[in-house]
Structure 1
Amino acid sequence: MSIQRDIPLYQIFIHPLDLKELRSDIWCDDPVMAKLIIGKDQYNIDIAYRGAHIRKFKKKSYRVEFPRNDFGVKELHLNAEYMDKSLLRNKLSLDFFSSIGILSPKSRYVMLNINGKDQGVYLQLESVDRQFLKIRNLPSGAIYYAEDDDANFSLISPIDEDVKKAFDCGYSRKEGTDEDDRHLKDLIYKINTLPNGDFEKEIVKHIDIDKYLRWLSGVICTQNFDGFVHNYALYRRDDNGLFEIIPWDYDATWGRDINGKIMDYDYIPITGYNTLTARVLDVPSFRKHYRRLLENILNQQFTVGYLKEKILSMHELLRPYVLKDPYIKKDIDIFDEEPKLILAFIKDRNLYLKKHLSDLE
């Protein structure tokens, strides 16, 4: 895992009338024009609020678009990480997924200033889009964001506990065509209707099972409760037609829940949740592969020894900037205790999962 060495300043200037328009409706997704200055470089941007429940927080998160595509990307996200008093969990999670062989957005910390007013520490997140694939020299393909709990790989909605109106409920298409929508609907249909005897040989024609089980291992280790039904993107490669899953928004992890409350290390079982996971782990060969992958990760990447230096280094880097963050500097005592809590979670969660590897036999 690479460790960030400095935190750049992002200065955004928005015309007062545009800023008033932006603030008039926090639920509006329409961006306003602004200018971004980083050192000596200037960029024309469009900026809007992002997220769901997080829009209610005092410290807002933003979506930034580059109309001229002169920043090297078309879009990026600036996350306030307001409920995570450590500011570590999202980046730690995304880097962890990358270390276990899963496509994962790149991220880095920045200091944000809007119209001369300090907004504090933000996590800059790479958008999962066409540029995301291009940077990694990956084949083109459809990309879908799982936007709500309907993206649970089931035909039943957990929201109203009724049959979904469409197989692709819960998803929004970021890249792709109507034909790709058909493939997504076909995937959800087959996950739920393939007979047990046909599932093993048929599902591998639609999903990269190894990548899915690596992703599942990551969700299980970091203990992201919402990760099974949203907080992810789907990428369908054009070259082989297989879907892969990409993590997204992993702040409610490493021992805390979505509200920032302590989550016991044994809250999520080793078998996880959602319809697809249940069906995949019902196949002996897949379950054996999952055990082998998870056991390897528990011995190598998901350990205090592997993660401690990164956690402490990020904490040390962030601390002077946290003291300047108008929204979270009052919680500096909590911030200072978080590395200890995260490391204790890793130790306890690792032991718990190793103890339950036998459940996969």
Structure 2
Amino acid sequence: MTYKVIANIPDSQTIAVVLDDRQVYLLNDTHEATSLLHMGKAPRPSNDYKYVILDKDTKDMIRQEPFTRVAPFASTESTLNEHFSISWNRADEYQLVNVFDPLPVIRRIESKIHVQGQIPTLHITGNPSDIDSLHHHQLEDIDVEDLQMIYISVNEVKTFDHVKLSISGRSTRLMPKLGYAIQLSKKQELYGHRRFKLRASAADPTFMTENMGYSMANAMGLPASQYSYVRLYINQQSIGLFGFVEHLKNPWVRNEFGNGDKDYQQGTLWVGQNSFNKTEVSQGESSTTTNRLSNKTQQQLHADFSYFGRDNVGLYQTFYPVKEKPSKGEPDYSRLIDFTEFLSKQPDTIVTHPSVVDAWEHHIDVESFLRTMALDLLTMDTDGFVANNNNFLLYDDVERKQLVLSEQDFDLSCGIVLPQYNASRVWGGNYSEFPGMETQPLSSKILQVPAFREKFDELMRHATQQLFTSGAVRKRIDTLYAMLQEDVAWDKSLPPVGEFKWKLPANMSSMMSDAMMKGVPFEQAVYGPASMPIQTPIAEWARLRGENLEAFIQQTTGQPYALAQQPIKQN
């Protein structure tokens, strides 16, 4: 039978398979597409086998797998594409239940891009000097083009030419372990997708925070990427374990909303980004605009659905930049401007007029807005829409003539609470007091409509029960921990390709450098005890988040407007 194993070894070494702890057979061949995938013929073992790395000349053993693999079935002609020192090929990865059906606007393609319980390998090859330059200039926006990418799953090898690679992210490009963006050529697709992001988890020793955020977004029936993992190699260098997400550039919009139909007439996709200094905003703006916004610009402007005025499209373009253009024409901000003007005229008190529900739904998909707000509170996302006017998606559904809201990038959620936030409000079960809920124009006004408040409370009750009370979130954490242990150990053994360039505030520098940058053990990061003041072990977060929400909901059942207090549990 044929044995196949992925291993990154120098030319002075070779790999072999050991059958039943006594017979050694060299695997002298490699796959035509990649030098990482070693292959060779050997008999079927009676009981078990394992892979070893040998000196090519002396055949002395250099390294061996610390476990044995079960003998394949008698009918098996070949092993799967296995990975050296990873004891499993397919893992038991528990998936969260669908708390709610997907929103009607979602018509997602069926795709194998995210396969449950598997971690494919990406091998990117190209000009070494171009790759080195990319890593040495990690703060610059550089595209390295004309690369080759080989995708290796347990049973497939796919080759892609003319691939583009760049460093991605904002804060992550300041870290030693860098994140990447990958773009395939227009003539090639990987299971219907062309653009991807590799999320480094450089500041997350659990390697699960974003996974949990995206998993919960999908469970809430919101438009979002799914999340899986890949092992990355660039040329002859092992880079590490990465989160694998869809980059929200074409063809993502038609894949998410149009079932992949190339004739789908898509609307504009915007992203919301947080505030910046007023001097940057006012440059080039008219005095009329500056006067109108003077109360805002004395502090800061935000992507919080404030009304900037009809003659000030420039500000909307700044705070809601276009991620993808519509199928026809140029991005039109009219629907967004109309909604922010409508929102600015809504009262801060309870509204009971019978036409108010239709008035809101004339502008927005209310269900998507309420679910996204609930998602922020459930995940404790302190860098999302509610708390920070950041990392949200806004889609112009031209068919229904509504704005659709969702979320992305959950790296500051699920137990990570930065010092500038009131931890009691973040952790508290009284979700009305979560940062931003009482102060954001949208969240503070939409819940003044009794029907929306009742719906939102029901969303929180049902999601809390399905995700936390049921134990679903904790079960997913446990299966991810079992699946990722060996890969995290491998990742942490590798030298980074970047440098630490983050100039940290004084109150964070010691905790970040001592705890995060020196590495928190994986088990401790997941299960505790806590070692970083800003990050609670994710299993403990799941327990405390569930308990606090359950306690508040129990107290306020039947009292949708109550703001009763209860003891807050936090790490």
Shift of 1:25: 3.3
2:486 paired residue among 290, 309, 320: 320
1:47 paired residue among 157, 165, 184: 165
Q: Deviations over 1:267-298 (max 9, x none)?
A: 68512423211111122221111001111111
Shift of 1:215: 1.3
Alignment match, 2:538: 342
Alignment match, 1:188: 340
Retained in 2: the 8 A contact 1:108–1:123? yes
Cα distance in structure 1, aligned partners of 2:333 and 2:137: 31
Residue 161, structure 1, aligned to residue 287, structure 2? no
Q: 1:60 to 1:148 in 2, by over 3 A?
A: same
Give the RMSD, CA atoms, in angstroms: 3.0
Alignment match, 1:331: 519
Alignment match, 1:145: 271
Retained in 1: the 8 A contact 2:368–2:405? yes
2:371 paired residue among 214, 231, 238: 214
Structure 1 or 2: more helix by fraction: 1
Shift of 1:159: 10
1:230 paired residue among 385, 390, 402: 390
Q: 1:351 to 1:268 in 2, by over 3 A?
A: closer
Residue 353, structure 1, aligned to residue 549, structure 2? yes
1:7 paired residue among 100, 116, 119: 119
1:68 paired residue among 172, 186, 199: 186
1:122 paired residue among 233, 237, 242: 242
Cα distance in structure 2, aligned partners of 1:283 and 1:158: 29
Equivalent AA in structure 2 for residue 37 of structure 1: I
Cα distance in structure 2, aligned partners of 1:94 and 1:159: 36
Retained in 1: the 8 A contact 2:383–2:413? no
Equivalences for residues 174-185 of structure 1 within 5 A: 174-175=323-324, 176=326, 177-185=329-337
Equivalent AA in structure 1 for residue 199 of structure 2: N
Retained in 2: the 8 A contact 1:85–1:335? no
Secondary structure of the corresponding residue to residue 55 of structure 1: helix
Equivalent AA in structure 2 for residue 147 of structure 1: Q
Retained in 2: the 8 A contact 1:112–1:122? yes
Equivalences for residues 18-29 of structure 1 within 5 A: 18-29=130-141
Secondary structure of the corresponding residue to residue 181 of structure 2: strand
Retained in 2: the 8 A contact 1:89–1:250? yes
Cα distance in structure 1, aligned partners of 2:477 and 2:363: 37
Retained in 1: the 8 A contact 2:335–2:403? no
Point out the structure with max Rg over C-alpha.
Answer: 2
Q: Which runs of 5+ in 2 are unaligned?
A: 1-94, 97-114, 259-263, 277-292, 303-307, 309-313, 497-515, 529-536, 562-571
Q: 1:269 to 1:172 in 2, by over 3 A?
A: farther
2:461 paired residue among 266, 286, 295: 295
Q: 1:250 to 1:188 in 2, by over 3 A?
A: same
Percent of paired sites with the same residue:
19
Cα distance in structure 2, aligned partners of 1:159 and 1:63: 37
Cα distance in structure 1, aligned partners of 2:463 and 2:546: 10
Indicate the structure whose relative CO is greater, using CA pairs within 8 Å and at least 6 residues apart: 1
Secondary structure of the corresponding residue to residue 315 of structure 2: coil
Q: 1:147 to 1:17 in 2, by over 3 A?
A: farther
Q: Which runs of 5+ in 1 are unaligned?
A: none
Alignment TM-score, normalising by the size of structure 1: 0.87
Question: Structure 1 residues 55-64 or 157-166, which shifts more?
Answer: 157-166
Retained in 2: the 8 A contact 1:83–1:258? no
Residue 77, structure 1, aligned to residue 243, structure 2? no
Retained in 2: the 8 A contact 1:312–1:339? no
Question: Structure 1 residues 162-171 or 53-62, which shifts more?
Answer: 162-171
Alignment match, 2:474: 308
Question: Structure 1 residues 299-308 or 56-65, which shifts more?
Answer: 299-308
